[in-house]
Structure 1
Amino acid sequence: MNGSRLSRSLDKTKLLYEKSVAVASRILRHPLQASVALLLIAVSLEVAQYWPEVVPGGHVLSIVIRNLAYALLAAVVFGWLVVEVPKRTRERRTYSDYEIHLQTLAGLGPIALVPYRHYVRGPGVDFDSWDANELAEAAKVIASQDPAFFGPERTGLMSHYILAATKTQQTLAPLVSFMSEDVAHAVLSFPNDWRLDALQMAYTDNGTIDPVRDAHLVSSLLAGSRSIYAAMKASSPDFLEGASFSVVLRDGTEVPITDPELSR
């Protein structure tokens, strides 16, 4: 019986703690709004002290709430000035100093996908790049329409993309403590060639990349690029402004990367 009560008490304490952390996080994300609200509460209660009590003990209760509001206001301002402002400054500097690296990760997936769009899109032929199965089917269509597509050139490009993803991630990994949590997670979880879910090439008998494997690699790179793109857009809205991503195909056609491949 006592054990059950203790367990319920611990559960309630844990729930209260989690709610408190959630409230604190929301306050820190919007310090200006929180400060204004707390200041209004405190000032309103200050003014209310000059009015007769409506409820016995009302003045005492209002003093407690007023003091709590002032304390929270001081905590919010202190947290913002001492913690959040320096943190955001470090993040902006990191994003600025390593902008090309972040843009590389954000662009690898769409860049690898662009030739698919060029060769597959036609009358009545299309696919959803967000669906790995449709992407695999598109690879088969490309192989039937243009057998040379998955030749040495494409094989070399995919090897280059994998190397670029791995090296870029290795460069950024030591800096994740200077990034927002979402960006850090996106960087560390970006596909590479050394994890269990590694980007690995698979070859056909003639030494070129297997079409279905190519589609898998493109899908993996797209997932990583979308994660980077979404995290950076949330943390730094001007991310990718001024950046120009495009691919020049074998026939000389320059195809720009489109935003729908990264977000929807």
Structure 2
Amino acid sequence: MAKLLKGKDVVESLNAKLTKDVQKLKEDGITPTLAILRVGEREDDLSYERGTKKRCEQVGVSVKAIALPMDVTEEEYLSELDKLNKDATINGILMFRPLPKHIDELKARNMLAAKKDVDGCTDLSLAGVFTNTKLGFAPCTAEAAMEILKFYNIPLQGKKVVVIGRSLVIGRPVAMLLMHANATVTICHTKTIDITSITKDADIVVVASGQMESVGKDYLKEGQTVIDVGIGWNAEKNKLCGDVIFDEVESMVDAITPVPGGVGGVTTSILVKHVVEAAIRQNS
């Protein structure tokens, strides 16, 4: 039976450190503050906002939520974003996407100041990931996967790691972060030929295919570590499932993240970590 790489323990460790960091900042008269910029009342946005506020409160980070109507003009939206960029009391900005079609999302996200881009969505933040420089912040899910590997002391240097998926949200940035940790990384995707022979040759497999339960025992071998980034509702099974067929592979691999209870919970804590890091950088 595989060791479960539970996100809860990682979150508790992160929270303990962040609480101390926030306390030190407050002693210096600085309250780390996250601004949430939301358009409309989408239930998934509201749910994420509630979860983010709760996680921020746990470590003492302040939250300022700005809710704009669905019919807000692009000019009004960008004006609000500009105010947050210039507000020295705001350390991080979380921009909920997708934006309404009448707002140019590419223009909006790249107007966001990289130093406040705690969600890692700007081109400058991604450039920072690729060049291993602190231009902004890594996408939270990619860093969450790395945080789990670090917490559970899973060695990366010299190891073969396969990443399934090449999105800018997780696949490509996590591959870069893994390479910065001296792993040898292969990215697989929908056009990869004979993908199972590649994944079976890996020490670690990060699955971010975006296809629920698409990776089964034919992709894996004994002794591997599996990081399952996916999450979706399986109506047939009436439960949340990842991109990996958990019941099929758990008995053969060495370690695996559960879904739910794995990468997802850590992602929100990484967002909060970025807010605290942004406050430290901006006031150093």
Q: TM-score, normalised by structure 2?
A: 0.23
Q: Could you say which structure has the larger radius of gyration?
A: 1
Q: Which has the higher strand share?
A: 2
Q: TM-score, normalised by structure 1?
A: 0.24
Q: Which has the higher helix share?
A: 1
